[in-house]
Amino acid sequence: MIIEEFPFAVTPHFAALAGPEKDDPIRRQFQPDPQEGIVHAGDLTDPLGETAYRVFPRLIHQYRDRALLKVTGICAGHCRFCFRRVWITTAVPFISDEELDPICRWLKDHGEVREILLSGGDPLTGSDEDLARLFSALRDARPDILLRLCTRVPVTDPERINAEIISLCKTMKPLRLVVHINHPKELSPESRRLLVSFVEAGIPVHVQTVLLRGINDNAETLAELFRECLNLGLTPYYLFQLDLAPGTGHFRVPLRQGLAIYEELKKLISGLGLPAYAVDLPGGGGKVRLHEGIIAGEKETENGIMLLLKGPDGRLWEYPAG
C-alpha cells in the first residue's frame, strides 16, 4: 500500500552508505515505513500551495524575481519525507521542447524574473542531451537569468555526473548548484570529489538540508555536516523545517524543538557555516526564516494546537505545534 502510493527507490551507491540498523540515518531516508500510512489532520497534498502560482503545468511563479521549473518527475532515489511525493510518483519525463517553448517565451516577456530554479524531481537524472537542450533553451531566451540547479544526485548517485555535465554547467553561467544533503554520512569520497570538481570549475555550490526526526535532529550532527561542507568549499544555505506532506509526520521535528536545536547549532559553528532555518508556510504563504519572534501565538484548532507564524504578507499562518 505504502509502496504503491510512493514506490521504493534507492541507488546502489546510496544504499551502500547505509548501515544495517533500522535507525541508520541513511537507511531511514529511503526505507519505507508503515508510519507513512498515517495522515495527520492538517497534512496537505500540495503543502506549499504551489498550484495557485502555476503559470504553466511545470512552471510556478510565486515570488516576483524568481520562478520554479519542474524539469522532470524522476529522482535517482525516493526520499520518504519528500513533499513532492505525489508529483514524483507520476514519474513525468524530462521536459520536452513543446513544453519548454512557451515557458521560454514567457521568460522573455518577464524580465522581472531574474532567477529560475530547476527542480523536479531531479534535473540531473536527465540525459546529457536533455540537460544541454534545456540549458541552451533557457540561456538563449534569457542570457542574464541565474540558473539555480537543485539536485540530490551528487550524494545519491555521484557516478552519474561526468566531466561533460560539469563543462556544460561551466558554459551556462550564471549558474549555481544547490545540493540537498541531510547527514555527514552522505558525503562519501565519491561525492566529495565530485562536489570539489564543481567548486574548482567556478560553480558556486550551496547546500540545503531538511531537519528530520531521528536523522539529523541534534546540533552536533548538523554542525559536523556544515563544517564538512565548508571545508569542501560548499556554502550551507537553508535548514528546512519539514513541509506538511501526508505520510511524513513521523519525520517532523516540532518547530519549537527545531528552534532550540538551531540555537545550540549557533554555539557550535561560525556564521560562515550556519544556514538559515526556514519554513515554507503551509498553503502558499511563502518562505520565512524561523526565530522565536516569528511566533505570534498558538491556537487550538480541529487539527490540534497550531503555532501562528507571521508571514511576509503580514498575515498569520498556521503550523502544527507538535
Residues near ligand SF4 (CB under 6 A) are 75, 78-79, 82, 84, 88, 120-122, 152, 180
Shorter beta-carbon distance to ligand SF4: residue 155 or 219: 155
Rounded to a whole number of angstroms, the minimum distance from the CB of residue 188 to ligand SF4 is 16
Contact between 250 and 23 (Cβ < 8 Å)? no
* Closest to ligand SF4 by CB, 127 or 314: 127
Give min distance, CB of 81 to ligand SF4, in A. Answer: 7
Please state the closest distance from residue 180 (CB atom) to ligand SF4, in A: 6
Per this entry, what is the length of the chain?
322
Q: How far is the CB of 150 from ligand SF4 (least distance, A)?
A: 8
Shortest Cβ distance from residue 109 to ligand SF4 (Å)? Answer: 29
Looking at the Cβ atoms of 82 and 222, the one nearer to ligand SF4 is 82
| Residue 253 vs 294, nearer CB to ligand SF4 | 253
Residue 234 or 306: the one with the smaller Cβ distance to ligand SF4 is 234
Complete edge-to-edge strand list for the sheet that includes strand 276-281: 54-56, 59-63, 66-70, 115-119, 146-151, 175-180, 205-210, 235-240, 276-281, 286-289
Q: 237-269 b/e with 16+ CB inside 10 Å = b?
A: bbbbbbbbbbbbbbbbbbbeebbebbeebeeeb
Residue number, 122 or 224, with CB nearest to ligand SF4: 122
Distance between CA atoms of residues 316 and 174, nearest Å: 36
Q: How far is the CB of 119 from ligand SF4 (least distance, A)?
A: 7
